[in-house]
Amino acid sequence: MAKLCVNVDHVATVREARKTIEPDPIAAAILAELAGAHGITIHLREDRRHIQDRDLRIMQEVVKTKLNLEMAATKEMIDIALSVKPDQVTFVPEKRQEITTEGGLDVISQEDYLRRAIKKFKEAGIPVSIFIDPDLKQIRSAKKTGADCLEINTGKYSEAKTEKELDVEFEKVKSAVKFAYKSKLTVHAGHGLTYSNVKRVSDLREISELNIGHNIVARAVLVGMERAVREMLNIINQYSVRS
Ligand code: PXP
| Whole-number pLDDT of residue 136 | 97
Cα 164 to Cα 96, 169, 177, 189: the distances in Å are: 33, 9, 20, 21
Q: Are strands 149-153 and 39-43 parallel, antiparallel or unpaired?
A: unpaired
**Model-level pTM?**
0.95
| Whole-number pLDDT of residue 243 | 56
Is 70 among the residues known to form the active site?
yes
| Whole-number pLDDT of residue 39 | 98
Kindly report the protein residue whose alpha carbon is nearest to atom 3 of ligand 1. 131
| Whole-number pLDDT of residue 98 | 73
- As averages over each run of 10 residues, the pLDDT of the chain (243 residues) reads 97 98 98 98 96 98 98 97 98 81 91 98 98 98 98 98 97 98 98 97 98 98 97 95 65
Q: Does domain 3-239 have CATH number 3.40.50.300?
A: no
List the domain boundaries for the chain. 3-239
Question: First-to-last CA distance in the chain?
Answer: 60
| Whole-number pLDDT of residue 172 | 98
Kindly report the protein residue whose alpha carbon is nearest to atom 2 of ligand 1. 191
Is 206 among the residues known to form the active site?
no
| Whole-number pLDDT of residue 95 | 78
Which amino acids bring their CB within 6 angstroms of ligand 1?
A: 7, 9, 43, 70, 90, 92, 100-101, 131, 151, 190-193, 211-215
* Active-site residue, from 33, 50, 70, 94: 70
| Whole-number pLDDT of residue 242 | 65
Helix (H) or strand (E) holding 209: strand 207-212
